[in-house]
């Protein structure tokens, strides 16, 4: 059984979109993962096919109705295997590589995409949806956020990426950002590739890469560095020196 993604959206025609290309697109055509985009509007019950209404308490914009969204979630649950059900929202837990890895190891995911001001909170609670954010900024809809989440999961599915090792070394996999990459020409516009990378000495290359990954993480993401070295937070971790392992 392949990894199954079900998207609940007002714009099913947006899918697969970018996920129909490159690695994800090939994997979709090869049946490594499956995609179903369900139109939330199909569950509207009135003759205007309304899916939203004005916010209780007043204010701008519209809110997706709980009854319509609930019926759409019910259809998604009935259609496929039991899977985690998530809602994309800026109020959610920030998406992490750890969560992505866990989702990729499971049977798939049901992703609810909001629009307008958002979704009535009661259906989020009633269905026990996991609230996920892709960052501290506001998109106009959950579809691009769902695509980000799917892309991150799909590339980890068995057989999607060429070299299995690449997922083990890349950013976040060991709590660090990745080291910098270089390719030919070895000299370009007066800039040389670090000589150690041309030395053929595998142990030294590994050491250099680890040191660069640590330096970049310390400089750019003190929050990640502090997680790796909680005792050093506020002391050596921030002054450019590696903390004791
Ligand atoms: C215009 S936004 C609603 C923003 C909401 N009123 C707020 O201030 O939190 C419409 C939809 O886009 C999606 N969305 C926007 N930003 C997002 C983010 N950073 N992560 C995940 N989903 C997001 C959500 O599905 C949301 O319901």
Quick: pLDDT tens for 84-94: 999 999 999 99
CA distance 109 to 7: 8
Q: Specify the pLDDT at position 231.
A: 86
- From the list 8, 30, 236, the residue with the least C-alpha distance to 143 is 8
Q: Is residue 139 annotated as involved in ligand binding?
A: yes
State the DSSP string of 112-174.
EE--TTEE-HHHHHHTTPEEEESSSS--SSHHHHHHHHHHHHHTTSTTTSS-THHHHHSTTTT
CA 31 / ligand 1 centre spacing (Å): 31
Q: Is 61 left (phi over 0), alpha (psi -120 to 50) or beta?
A: left
Beta strand segments in the chain, E: 3-9, 33-39, 52-53, 63-64, 85-94, 108-113, 118-119, 130-133, 187-188, 191-192
Sheet arrangement for strand 118-119: 52-53, 63-64, 118-119
Q: How far is CA 222 from the centre of its chain?
A: 21
Here the tokens at position 12 are: 């099913």
Query: Atom 17 in ligand 1: which residue has the minimum CA distance?
Result: 90
pTM greater than the 0.85 cutoff: yes
Inter-residue contact 191 to 184 (CB < 8 Å): no
Q: Which atom of ligand 1 is nearest to the CA of 91?
A: 9
What's the distance, CA 5 to chain centroid?
Answer: 13
Ranges of residues in the chain with a pLDDT under 50 are: 235-245
Nearest atom within ligand 1 for CA of residue 134 = 20
Please indicate if the annotation marks 136 as binding a ligand: yes
What is the per-residue pLDDT across 29-86, written as a single tens digit (0 to 9) for each? 999 999 999 999 999 999 999 999 999 999 999 999 999 999 999 999 998 889 999 9
Q: What is the pLDDT of residue 157?
A: 97
Predicted local distance difference test score (pLDDT) of residue 245 = 34
pLDDT of residue 164: 57
Distance from the alpha carbon of residue 233 to the mean position of ligand 1, in angstroms: 33
Ligand 1 centroid distance, CA of 87 (Å):
10
CB 222 within 8 A of CB 186: no
Task: Please tell me the predicted confidence (pLDDT) of residue 159.
Answer: 93
Tell me which residues have their CB closer than 6 angstroms to ligand 1. 88-91, 113-115, 117-119, 133-135, 137-142, 145
Cα–Cα distance, 22 to 117 (Å, whole number): 33
Best CA proximity match to 152, nearest among 204, 196, 86: 86
Strands 52-53 and 63-64: antiparallel
Pair of tokens at residue 198: 């041309």
pLDDT at 163: 65
Ligand 1 nearest atom to the CA of residue 113, by list position: 25
Task: Supply the pLDDT for residue 79.
Answer: 86
139 C-alpha to ligand 1 centroid (Å): 5
CA distance 100 to 149: 7
Cα–Cα distance measured from residue 25 to residue 234, given in angstroms and rounded to the nearest whole number: 45
Domains and CATH numbers, the chain: 3-154 (3.40.1280.10), 168-238 (1.10.1270.20)
Which of 65, 69, 93, 118 has most ligand 1 atoms within 8 Å of CB, for mutation? 118
- Residue 234: what pLDDT? 56
| Atom 15, ligand 1: residue with shortest CA distance | 139
């Amino acid at each position: 059984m392949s990894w199954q993604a079900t998207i609940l959206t007002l714009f099913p025609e947006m899918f697969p979109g970018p996920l129909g290309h490159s690695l994800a697109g090939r994997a979709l055509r090869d049946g490594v993962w499956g995609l179903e985009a369900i139109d939330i509007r199909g569950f509207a019950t009135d003759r205007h096919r309304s899916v939203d209404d004005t916010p209780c308490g007043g204010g701008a914009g519209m809110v997706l109705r709980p009854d319509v969204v609930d019926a759409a979630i019910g259809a998604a649950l009935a259609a496929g295997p039991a899977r985690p059900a998530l809602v994309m929202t800026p109020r959610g837990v920030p998406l992490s590589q750890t969560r992505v890895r866990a989702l990729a190891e499971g049977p798939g995911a049901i992703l609810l995409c909001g629009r307008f001001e958002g979704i009535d909170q009661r259906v989020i609670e009633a269905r026990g949806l996991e609230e996920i954010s892709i960052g501290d900024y506001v998109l106009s809809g959950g579809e691009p956020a769902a695509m980000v989440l799917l892309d991150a999961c799909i590339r980890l599915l068995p057989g999607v990426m060429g070299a299995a090792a690449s997922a083990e070394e890349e950013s976040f996999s060991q709590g660090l950002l990745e080291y910098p990459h270089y390719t030919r020409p070895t000299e370009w516009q007066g800039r040389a590739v670090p000589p150690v990378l041309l030395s053929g000495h595998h142990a030294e290359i590994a050491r250099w890469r680890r040191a660069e990954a640590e330096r970049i993480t310390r400089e750019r993401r003190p929050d990640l560095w502090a997680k790796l070295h909680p005792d050093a937070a506020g002391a050596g971790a921030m002054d450019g020196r590696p903390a004791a392992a």
